[in-house]
Structure formats: C-alpha cells, structure tokens
Structure 1
Amino acid sequence: MFDPFADLLNQREAIGFGNQAFRVVIIDRLLANEIIRANHYSKRVYSASTLHLGVYIDANMVGVLQYGFAMNPASADSVVAGTAMSEYLELNRMWLSDAAPRNSESRALAFSIRLIRRVRPTVKWIQSFADERCGLFGTVYQAAGFSYHGEHIGIFWELDGDFYHNSLVTNGKSGGPRAMAIRAGLDRATRHKLRQFRYLRFLKPRFAKGCRYPALPFPKPDYAP
C-alpha cells in the first residue's frame, strides 16, 4: 500500500501492507499510545517506540504494533555483533482484539515485517520478548517465523496492581513519576522473578551470522528452565 500522492521525484511512500480485508498501516503515535494504554496488559507505552502500526480488518482497527529501540538502545551489538542502532528494531508493544480471527497475531507480525522491509530498509533483524505473564511462551512468534534464542529472568515489582521493572529501582538516573512511585512504595511492593523469552527474526539469513545467542528448540508450556 502506497501513499496516493507522489513526491517531487514522482515516488510514492509505502504506508501499509495488505488489502481491505486485512492490512497493517502506519498510524499516528498518539493514536497508537491511546489504544495501548487502554488495552495492553501492561497499560503502559514505551517512549522509545518509533514505528506505530494499526491492524485493520475492513474499516475496523483491531490491533496495534509498536516497534522501536530496546530498553538499552545501544545494546544491539550485544545481541548480534556489528549491529548499528539503525539496523534493528524491537517489538515494544503488540495488542490485538479478541474479536480478531484466529492467527491474526502472527499474520499481523508477518505483514508488519514486510512493511518494515520497505520503510526501514536498513533494518537487519527484529527482536521481541515473550513475557511469562502472557503464557504460551511466545507461540505467536513461533508461528510468524521467529527463531528462539533462550530466556533470562527479569525482576519486576508489583505495587497496587501495577508492575515496575527493577531498573526503575536500581537506576539512580531514573527520576520520572513511575520511578518515584515504586521507590516510595517499595516496602509495600511484591518482588517477582519472571521469565522473558527472546525471539529474533532475521530479515535475511546471512544477518544471523553474528548472533551471540544460539538458536534453540522452541519452548513449550510444559518446558522447565
């Protein structure tokens, strides 16, 4: 899908991928943030997201995907050697309505990747993490052609029904309202150790050469670390 209006060089910009029945389209950040706050299990947006996509079935928006930098934007080289900041994306947030047909998540991922190839041609690979709280250990990524590269334990604090990453407690440079809230209420908070499952999607097979984490068999719901 292209912008109907050409630029001065008679070129048209890609704005989406798919068709009227199912498509992924670039949308405004404010709209994407509003929908994520209202529907995503975290109820939080990520300020380092740079690409905001809406998932549409006919005229109805049924989902949002937000891509951008990792929590440590310069950490890409620690995942795939030689990766510059412009050469990767992380899927920061994804939400699809329960009204969307089965397999819509993996289909939306596949369409978004095809769009990324056009609008972010420097991107070599995409990373996402499946959170243990969501269950199923990332089956949606498995169905969308991602490879699995192991897990790590993330420390989270639960306070008054909200979850806070441990970095807000340990990073003295974090001075925002959420950091202040968890630090002030830490004596009432519950500490959780949650498994985070790393998935990668290489846009060309040769880009996997420098990966510092070997590909592993997919984890299953009865998998134990």
Structure 2
Amino acid sequence: MELLTGQTPFGVAGEDTGYLFNLDLPNNRDAIGFGNAAFSVAIIDRDIANRIIKANHYSRRVYSASTLHLGVFIGVEMVGVLQYGFAMNPASADSVVAGTGMSEYLELNRMWLSDAAPRNSESKALAFSIRLIRRIRPPVKWIQSFADQRCGLFGTVYQAAGFTFHGEHLGIFWELDGDFYHNSLVTNSKSKGPRAQTIRAGLDRATRHKLRQFRYLRFLKPRFAKGCRYPVLPFPKPDYGVSVD
C-alpha cells in the first residue's frame, strides 16, 4: 500500500494522537491501532510477531496463548512487538481480581523494543496499547504483567506506564545449555511437548535458579481495583546485590 503524507503503516493520523483504521476498508470503523504518524502501535500478524520475539526477546520463546499481537512503529519502521493473552493458568484470573472471567483480563506475555527506539518508548508503547485495548476488547477490566529479575530494574517501565505494584514471588527455573525452562515443565505431568522432554532428559545437567517475579497490574477503570486480592505496595527498588539462588 502506498503511504500518504501523515500516514502510519495502517492508517492516516495527523499531529494529534488517535485511533488508526485500515485504509483499504474505508467503511470499516474497527480500530487496528493507536498513535500518530511519528509513533504508533497496531495489530500485526501472529507469525510476524512470533518471528521478531524469537529473534530478539531475552527468552527467545513465544507464548502460544497470546491472542493480541501489536507492532510498535516509529514512522513506518517497526521497532518492537507486544503480545497480550492469557496467563499461564488461563482460569486463574479470579485468584488475582475477584469475579474476573477469562475474557475480562489480559496478560502482557512478551514485550521487546529495539535499542534504536527513543528513551521512554516502552512506556509509551504500553500506554498506546492500553488505549487500543479499551476500544477493541471492551470486556477487559485489567491487565497483568510480571517483571522478571533477569531483566533488571524490577519493572520501571510499568511504573512509568501507570501500573501499580502488587508484590513478588519466587519462580523456579532450570538453565540448560543457555536456555531457561520453567519448573512446570518438570513437575506438570500434562506437559508433553519438546521443551518438557528436553529439560527432563537433561535435568541432571541443568542449573536450578530461583528468580524474583514482580507483579504489576493496570486497571482500565478504577472501580475494578476493588476486587483485587493483592494490596498495592510501594514500587520495588533495584538491589542488584541480592541473590536468591
């Protein structure tokens, strides 16, 4: 598609920030993005998102239960990907916020932005993606994400994007040949895939890690926070001298 002046890869936007639409479907008012000609997020194909995450995300892994795949664009250049979907236990939402159904929450499963993106692009991309989610997924009451200890900074990006902090837990991971495997692949008898087979076969060579996982929530309307089962806590401060292995 030929790009017009002031056009993002998916729709026309002026200096003001707003929803983006498919120009090939002029009568269709289903938003596919949010932003402007300088910076935007927009829905992209799952396969494209997965390839980018596999190549660039620290985990080198995608999550099969992701249902919303967004590209982050500076002008017409894609510089990042966000993938939203279900939690590891899709039906666990009620244990976080009382009364939440499976269609009423999203978890940020993966996020990667290029180092070439300007400072604060991560929090801006999060904010824009939330504006889009409000419109295209109206049942969603809240969004959850976890900051992994391996990333450092303990969730600074979420703090800047209006998320609240709700505590931490220790996750057990196994490191084998430079790759990390969640402990559930070892302990869950229902896990039959190639990764489960790999870590079980190599468990005697693997290194066990306890990694801190920091829970962040973003309530799309304040009243939804009343049902949260985890209190809001002060933001954690990085302490790189602490090891829990």
Aligned partner of residue 62 in structure 2, secondary structure: coil
Q: 2:191 aligns with which of 170, 174, 195?
A: 174
Task: Indicate the RMSD between aligned Cα atoms, in angstroms.
Answer: 1.2
Aligned-partner Cα distance in 2 for 1:15–1:57: 16
1:75 aligns to what?
Answer: 92
2:211 aligns to what?
Answer: 194
2:226 is the alignment partner of 1:209: yes
**Aligned AA for 1:25?**
A
Aligned-partner Cα distance in 1 for 2:191–2:97: 27
Q: Percent identity?
A: 85
TM superposition shift of 1:11: 4.5
Aligned-partner Cα distance in 2 for 1:11–1:62: 27
The within-5 A match list for 1:64-213 is 64-213=81-230
CA contact (8 A) 2:33 2:41 kept: yes
**Aligned AA for 1:189?**
A
Aligned-partner Cα distance in 2 for 1:130–1:106: 13
* Unaligned stretches of 5+ residues in structure 1: none
Q: Which runs of 4+ in 1 moved over 2 A?
A: 222-225
TM superposition shift of 1:3: 2.5
User: How many residues of Structure 1 are paired with residues of Structure 2 in the alignment?
Assistant: 222
TM superposition shift of 1:88: 0.1
- Give TM-score scaled by structure 1 length: 0.97
Question: Deviation digits for residues 42-64 of structure 1, max 9, x if unmatched?
Answer: 00000000000000001110000
Aligned-partner Cα distance in 1 for 2:37–2:110: 24
TM superposition shift of 1:165: 0.1
Aligned-partner Cα distance in 2 for 1:89–1:187: 36
CA contact (8 A) 2:22 2:28 kept: no
Q: 1:2 aligns with which of 21, 32, 35?
A: 21
- Give TM-score scaled by structure 2 length: 0.89
Point out which structure has higher relative CO (alpha carbons under 8 A, 6+ apart): 1
Aligned-partner Cα distance in 2 for 1:19–1:122: 25
TM superposition shift of 1:144: 0.1
Aligned-partner Cα distance in 1 for 2:28–2:154: 42
Aligned partner of residue 60 in structure 2, secondary structure: coil
**Aligned AA for 2:170?**
I
Aligned-partner Cα distance in 2 for 1:207–1:22: 30
The within-5 A match list for 1:21-32 is 21-32=38-49
